[in-house]
Amino acid sequence: MGTELYETLGLYSPSHGWSVSNNHPIAGEYRAIGLDLQGISAKQGGNLQSEIEAIREELDSGQLATLEKHDVIGNLLHGTILSYFALNDVQEEIQAQSANMVTYRLPSYGIFSTSLQPQYWFGIPRSTSFGGMDMDVDRVTIHSVEKGNSEVKKFDFTSVSGSRLSAMEHLVPEKILSTSSSSAKGISAVKALAIASSEGQKIWTITQENLEEALSSINLGSDVESEIRNAVVAGNIATAHDSPLNYYSWVGSGYLLINPKTGAGAYKISGGNNGSHTVSEGEAPENLLNFLFGVVLESVDQLGEAADRMAMKVFGWFTTAIDFFKIGKSCWNQFELLTVAVTAFSVLFLLQPSLR
């Protein structure tokens, strides 16, 4: 446990060949891969909802001994990444209608996982600690055409979609992992830029013309700055802030790497994720991890009152996840797009003052 691994995910297209993404997970992390091939089907969502409801009933009854690790953490993580895709599919169709666009979802994938922070001794992992939850959506693609064949309107549509997809990367985990007793705090690329701006940091739009000036002024770490340099030299436009943020237990930066011809690009946070990082207030993260995985105590009964508090916390997570699926299913089954959009917008955005 604690060793850095090498992971390659990819999709093959007969017309474009392989599209791959490389990641470096830590041994011991629990990773749920979500696939959005041509939309999340009602059957797919319904099956997962049924599993989650069954788990919630067991948590409510206190029959924790029958639950396995995958029952709790696996379905919770999988439900979160599928909720992300399902809600974005709904919002994208509404956005396309208002923008006079025709869009089709192309095969996409993402990961929602636990995050471990290993401590090394001469390059050997000696211990690990639970750092929160990570969402890493490496591929979200659509085929889109503006009905009047306007490339400008298509560019604008793509740019707005990218910002929404980034914002949802922190909003969905926050809403699913928050309970009445504690709030989850997520950070995504667009939220990091918004926080940096509110703190008075300069927001840089970096092109080949001002690349050297920008890199001499910002202090975001060698990995981020090198990635920005390479992307801009290749013809992309980067958006970044001056210096790292300290947001709860997360220290890092958010930046965008955008293709100026298409409006598509990467919305990243430091560490390499095309996504977000989420931590939970209240119970210590390591206690929560121990409860979910049983890595410290052999019997849940030994936790006493702590087990009851943790059970209620996880129960709250699954209740929220079920609510999300009900929102999605009302769209899948009845196609009431506008109603669903208003509901999803209320749940996911109006309750988030950080981006208003």
Q: What is the pLDDT of residues 102-128, one digit of tens each?
A: 999 999 999 999 888 888 888 888 888
| Mean pLDDT, rounded, of the chain | 78
Q: For residues 283 and 278, give the distance between their C-alpha atoms in angstroms, rounded to a whole number.
A: 14
Predicted pLDDT of residue 131: 81
Instruction: Looking at mean pLDDT, say which of 23-37, 48-62, 322-336 comes out highest.
Output: 23-37
Per residue in 269-318, pLDDT (tens digit) is 987 678 888 876 654 444 454 444 432 233 334 334 444 444 444 444 44
pLDDT band at 71 (very low <50, low <70, confident <90, very high): confident
pLDDT band at 144 (very low <50, low <70, confident <90, very high): very high
pLDDT band at 60 (very low <50, low <70, confident <90, very high): low
Name the pTM for this structure: 0.80
More confident residue, 76 or 164: 164
More confident residue, 78 or 192: 192
Tokens 């993402």: give the residue: 110
All structural domains of the chain with their residue ranges? 7-188+272-355
Q: For residues 136 and 21, give the distance between their C-alpha atoms in angstroms, rounded to a whole number.
A: 11
Beta bridge partners of 143: 104
Sign of the four-CA dihedral 93, 349, 200, 234: negative
Predicted pLDDT of residue 62: 65
Mean pLDDT throughout 206-210? Answer: 96
Predicted pLDDT of residue 282: 55
Flag whether pLDDT at 9 surpasses 60.
yes
Of 34-43, 102-111, 139-148, where does mean pLDDT reach its minimum? 34-43
